Amino acid sequence: MKKSDFYYDLPQELIAQTPLDRRDASRLLVLDRQSGALEHRHFYEIGEYLRPGDLLVLNDSRVLPSRLLGQKEGTGAAMEFLLLRQLEQDVWETMVRPGKKAKTGARFVFGDGLLRAQVLGDAEDGTRRVRFEHQGDSLFEVLEEVGNVPLPPYITEKLADKERYQTVYSRELGSAAAPTAGLHFTKELLGQLEGQGIGVAYVTLHVGLGTFRPVKADDITDHHMHSEHYSIPRRTAQLVNETKGRGGRVIAVGTTSCRTLEAAYTDHLEPCFGASTDIFIYPGYSFKVLDGLITNFHLPESTLIMLVSALAGRERILRAYEEAIRQQYRFFSFGDAMLIL
């Protein structure tokens, strides 16, 4: 299967640059994965497609304010760091720009000296291994003060409220990007769904930029995903197992929740902490636990459009995307949503 099999032409003006005033006011394209039938709704109506006994599984990871703007010590050259993955205490895999100014041993300063960094070495993919030095007990506390939310490169507008790039239920710091399918939920909507008898459970997968890196291989089976850390609480494992046992539907909110469940599930789900997965889901994959998916619209030729194509079929997904473009849906992180059942 070729990368080009997942291409579609998206008008630039349909890339959402800012979130809507109301999270759940986004549009919702409902796709029946058996028949291919489509319905146009709004996200606040999603409860009409769920039933008592269904279980929603959401990713409660919180985006780190991991974009750092600073200077190189000695020269004052402007630098941008993006923290990708914690390797050990205060040592991170980091994307650095401009890379030519970040040779091993180079030192940098951020936030008027609240945070400093030294490059320990580099990797083949161009990232750097960086040790951070900070005031106080926690690097995370300093990042909250001096860091910025790392919006995707296709968003060029400034975000007025940085909480709009966090889900209302985010609590576990560690992601380089938001699990954006969850951005449509409000606390009130979640409460309404629970009142309908729909279960809500949480996993944690810290989203790495590897999820969004372009597929370079023409044959998609030659593509390798970067590993990401995840945890599954005991309560979530219990709810998933009970739901599957009684024939209920497990519906993932977002591709990250989907990948977590599918990576961990055998004939049941075990709780775990600090596991990792590089699972790559594309057409031909046989889903073990998932019965439905709430997701956003994804970039052409990305691993994410390949995942949704595995669930609903490539031709059905591409037809749904064509219809969304005709109907002027908003695409990507701050865009509209799909429900695939």
- The string of DSSP letters for 183-217 reads GG--HHHHHHHHHTT-EEEEEEE---GGGTSPP--
CB 107 within 8 A of CB 26: no
Q: Are residues 40 and 85 in the same domain?
A: no
User: What is the structure's pLDDT at 211?
Assistant: 61
- Bridge partners of residue 256, in order along the sequence: none
For the purposes of burial, counting CB atoms within 10 Å of the CB of 46, is it exposed (0-12), middle (13-18) or buried (19 or more)? buried
234 and 321: one domain? yes
Is residue 151 in a domain? no
Query: Are 286 and 311 contained in the same domain?
Result: yes
Q: Which residues of the chain have pLDDT under 50?
A: none
Q: Do 122 and 242 sit in the same domain of this protein? A: no
Domain that holds residue 260: 3-63+161-340
- Tell me if 253 is assigned to some domain: yes
97 with 228, same domain?
no
Q: Give residue 138's pLDDT.
A: 87
CA dihedral 184, 237, 289, 57 (to 10 degrees): 0
pLDDT at position 86, please?
84
pLDDT of residue 226: 84
* 271: preceding bond cis by omega (within 30 degrees): no
Q: Do 49 and 106 have their domain in common? A: no
What CATH number does the domain containing 198 carry?
3.40.1780.10
Q: Are 276 and 228 in contact (CB under 8 A)?
A: yes
Considering the domain architecture, whether residues 28 and 71 belong to the same structural domain is answered as no
210, 310: one domain:
yes
For residues 180 and 129, membership in a common domain is answered with no
pTM over 0.85: yes
If asked whether residues 293 and 230 sit together in one domain, one would say yes
